Every structure is written in C-alpha cells, then in structure tokens.
Amino acid sequence: MTDRKARLTVDGLDAPIDLPVYPSTAGPDVIDVSGLTKKGFFTYDPGFMSTAPCESKITFIDGAKGVLLHRGYPIDQLAEHSDYLETCYLLLNGELPSKEQKATFADEVKKHSKVDDSVAQIIKGFSRNAHPMAIMGSAVNALAAVYHEETDITSEESRRVTAYRLIGQMPTLAAMAHKHRQGEEFIAPDADLAYAENYLNMTFGTAGQSPKVNQVLAKAMDRIFLLHADHEQNASTSTVRLSGSSGTNPFAAIAAGIATLWGPAHGGANEAVLNMLEEIGSVDNIDTYVAKAKDKNDPFRLMGFGHRVYKNFDPRAKVMKQAADEVLSELGLENDPLLAIAKRLEKIALEDEYFIQKKLYPNVDFYSGIIMKAIGIPTEAFTVIFATGRAVGWYAHWQEMVSAPYKIGRPRQLYTGYNKRDYPA
C-alpha cells in the first residue's frame, strides 16, 4: 500500500480524484488508475506506452541509459560469466543457482527435451516451404494437447515440470522444423551435449553420425539464446500474459506469444536486416543507400540500427558484436559479400555524425542476424531462434502472474462509432 497520491482534476466534476502512486525499485513510479472506472472514465493509451498492466520482479530496462537487468544482474555480466540455462534458472527462480542446483536444472531440461511422436507427425504434415514460425507455433500449441492431462497451473510442481518441457523442447522443435524444410531425417537430442551444442547438432548434424559441433559457434548460439531470454513487457510477453490470464494451458499461451513475435516489427527484425543487406547488394552501393536512409522523404530504412526502447547503445549489442567477430573469424567469412556490407554499415553507423546524433547504433538484431547467417541458419528461421531463447522469459512472466492472485485481462476502448440506431423498416 502507499500513502502517496496523485490528484486528477476533471472539468465537470465537483471534486478532484485521488489516485494511489506506487513506488518502483527502479524506473518511473506508477499511478494506479483502476479506480477511474467508478468515476465513469477510462484512460486512453494507444500502444500501452504509458500503461503498466502488471507488477513484476523479473526484468528492468532503462532505455535512456542503455540498461537491461535480469533479476538485478546486468545483461553484459550474465553474457560474460553465465550461460543460457543458468540465466533460465535465474529468470524462473529469482536467484542464481548453486553448482548443484544448476546441474540438476540442466539434467531436468535434457530429460524433457525429446518431442512426442504425435508432434513430430504434425511437423511432417507441413509442406517443405512452410514458414518455420508457422511450424513452431503449431508445434508448441500441440504440446498443450500432449500434456493437457498433466498440466495443473495451480500446482507449483506442475509449473516446474512444464518449464523443463518448454525449455527442453524448444530447440528440438526448432531443429525439427529446419530438418523438415530441408527434407532430412530428424536427429534426437543427445544427453552428452550442452544446450546450444544440442541445437546445432540437431539442426546441422547427420542422423547416425557422431556429433561434431564447433565450440566457437556453440558459444555464440548460447549467447544468442541468453541475450534474447527476456525483455520485459514487450508485445509478445504482454500477449502471453493476456492469453494466460484466462487460465489457458501455458503452452497455448506461449504459442500466442510466438504468433506475436512473428511480426516484422518485433521478432522479425533480424530477418529484415538480412533482407536489407540483400537489397543493398554490394559494398559499392552502400553510400547510395546511406543517403536514402538520411532522406526523410525516402521510404528506405536501415534495419538493425536504433531501437524503440534503447535511446542509447543496446547493451545486448556490445556482447553480440564480440560474438559476431569471433564467429566470422572462426569461419573465415570476413569477406563474404553480405557480411562485408554489414561490417561497412556498422563502421559508418559508429562514425557518421548523422547516426551518432540520432543514436542509431547497431542493435542486437543487426549482429545476431550476421551470426546466424554465418552459421548457416536460413533467414526465415531467424525468428525461430529468437522464440527459442525467449520462451523462458515468456514462461517466467506467465509463472509470475499465475503464482499470485490475478485477473483476466480486459482492455477498454475509446468508442467513436455510431450510437444506437434502429434497423430500417
């Protein structure tokens, strides 16, 4: 509770309206406007840019300062000292695990990484050219059918096992979607491989052959998963919360998040980066396209530069840039035509006064797109990797919501249509 109040004066009301003000640990304090409905008012906030629909202890972002914290830990420190599964544990449980807790968590994730045959058959039923995000959304939704009888959202133990299943099977499903599109045989998860190693082996390995996973690439993939693990109340996370607020199966809520992430304004941004590089076509054309990007009347936009949230350097981009440099060096791809365009654009963005003044720094999508292109992941599958890493963040927010009293979401509207009118005789 709070004794602090915000006083709202409205023309036509005899007295002002007092609204509670709740303090935040970090970031802006929040005015509770829920009582306005009793006074006959809703708030109007397109895009929910000024609305906090929930209280959360998971992730904090300060876009102006370029800060991203998971349970209080800066993202760059996690990327340097932690790994994806340890970060998953942190997001779900609030604290870093002990060595024993981390080992147990990793073992449980591996134990639940095999996909039910019924889901495999669903994936095989898609055409070879089906978009991998359509396959992923359908496959995750199918998990709701597989585990329907075993899922009890009111049970802490059931929620824990569901987390293992989701985290364990997302890379398996992602790899199966890739293999199906390539017309190749599925590869089962290998208990001897680490998380990112398993994904790379299931995606690029050959059935019946011993795994051969490049450790530089595995480290880069783990960082991609980690750096996408959560990003506070974005469109897909809010979708998962809103869907989950009805009490639906958590896999169904996650599938709704996947559908939202698919959009080019959200998870499709790193795919848009590669499409942009292909449009530019050659290093010789860069100056022309940079000029187009600076022209406000030209529809062309440089993708992967700047960020809706970060008005400073994206803190994830610094780590991803290092991973990109390591991968390109390991694979000897510094002179790949598209990657050469990307490196030249990066240099311009970091040195050109226009980009510096507008703070159009390369963001995480720019570098992750370069890495995935180099590794050999098809452009249309980039968002699948995003979803694989983000699944734990979605689930952590869903779990936080259902672990406490909550209400079904019911947004309001500013209605500007017809008033009541009679049907013509």
Structure confidence at residue 114 as a pLDDT band (50, 70, 90): very high
Q: Considering only residues 221 and 305, tell me which one the structure prediction assigns the higher pLDDT.
A: 221
Percent of all residues in the chain with a pLDDT value above 90, rounded to a whole number: 68
Structure confidence at residue 302 as a pLDDT band (50, 70, 90): confident
Give the model's pLDDT for residue 315.
86
Residue 255 has pLDDT above 80, yes or no: yes
Give the model's pLDDT for residue 1.
56
pLDDT in tens, 307-321: 777 777 788 888 888
Structure confidence at residue 340 as a pLDDT band (50, 70, 90): confident
Alpha carbon distance 145, 139 (integer Å): 10
Structure confidence at residue 87 as a pLDDT band (50, 70, 90): very high
Q: Kindly report the three-state secondary structure assignment for every residue of 109-156.
A: HHHCCCCCHHHHHHHHCCCCCCCHHHHHHHHHHHHHHHCCCCCCCCCH
Give the model's pLDDT for residue 346.
84
Q: Which residues of 35-48 are buried (b: 16+ CB within 10 A; e: fewer)?
A: ebeeeeeeeeeeee
Q: Please tell me the pTM assigned to this model.
A: 0.92
Alpha carbon distance 192, 110 (integer Å): 9
**Residue pair 70/78 in contact by the 8 Å Cβ criterion:** yes
State which H helix or E strand residue 78 sits in. Answer: helix 75-81
Give mean pLDDT, residues 111-115.
Answer: 97
Active-site positions read 266, 307, 365
Give the model's pLDDT for residue 409.
94
Give the model's pLDDT for residue 347.
87
Give mean pLDDT, residues 184-188.
Answer: 97
Give the model's pLDDT for residue 40.
87
- Both tokens of 63, joined, read 């876009």
Q: Considering only residues 180 and 44, tell me which one the structure prediction assigns the higher pLDDT.
A: 180
Structure confidence at residue 192 as a pLDDT band (50, 70, 90): very high
Give the model's pLDDT for residue 339.
77
Give mean pLDDT, residues 360-367.
Answer: 82
Give the model's pLDDT for residue 334.
72
Lowest mean per-residue pLDDT among 247-251, 306-310, 375-379: 306-310
Q: Considering only residues 347 and 94, tell me which one the structure prediction assigns the higher pLDDT.
A: 94
